Amino acid sequence: MPPLAGPVFRLADYLEQHGRITLRHLCPPASFWHAAHTHLTHPDDLSNLTKAAEDRHRLQWGHHLLQRAADHGIAYALYRLAGMREQAGDRDGAKDLYRQASDHGDITALYCLAEMRDEAGDRDGAETLARQAADYGDTFALVRQAERNILNRLWPYGLDPDGTPTSPWQPSVSVEQSGHVLPGTS
C-alpha cells in the first residue's frame, strides 16, 4: 500500500452513525465521484465505492472505479471486468482479464477460464485449469469437468424431458420414402 500523503481524519462514531442514517438515500454529487476516482487507491475503498456507485445507479462512475481497482491489480475487479467483457461478446478480452485475475489469486477466474476452454472444445485445457483451481482448494471446476465427461459419454445426445436418453437424429421414414434429397447429401 502506498504511503498516505497529508493528514488522515476519522469521523467520531456518533457523527458517522448519524450521517449513515440521515444520508443513506442521498447520492453524492459528481464532484465526489470524480475526487474518489482520482485519489482513492486502497482496494477496500475502491471496492466499497464501486458498489455504492452501482447501488445508486451511477453506473459510469461504478465502471470507472472498477477499472481503477483493476489497474491496481485487485483480483475481484479484474474478475468483474472480465465478466462484463464476456457478456458483451469480447471473449479474448475476457480471457485476458480472467487470466490476470487468476494470477492475482482469484480462483473463480480459473473456473471461468476452464468453462471457456470447455465450450471451445479444448477438454484437455479445461481439465488443466480445473486441476489448477483444485490445487488452490476449489474443486468445483474439477467436479463440473468430470460431470460433463461422464454425461457426454453416457448420453452424447442429451436427455429427453421425461429423462430417457435422446437417440441420434435420423430422417423420418416419410422423408426417406418421398425421394427428397436432404441438404448436404448427393
38 is written with which cell numbers? 482520482
One pLDDT digit (tens) per residue for the chain, 186 residues: 566 677 777 888 888 888 888 877 778 889 999 999 999 888 889 988 998 898 889 999 999 999 999 998 899 999 999 999 999 999 999 999 999 999 998 988 988 998 899 889 898 888 888 888 888 877 777 777 777 776 676 667 777 788 777 787 766 665 555 565 656 665
Measured distance CA(31)–CA(21) in Å, rounded: 22
| DSSP codes joined into one string, 128-178 | HHHHHHHHTT--HHHHHHHHHHHHHHH-TT-B-TTSPBPPPP---HHHHHH
Please state the pTM of the whole predicted model: 0.64
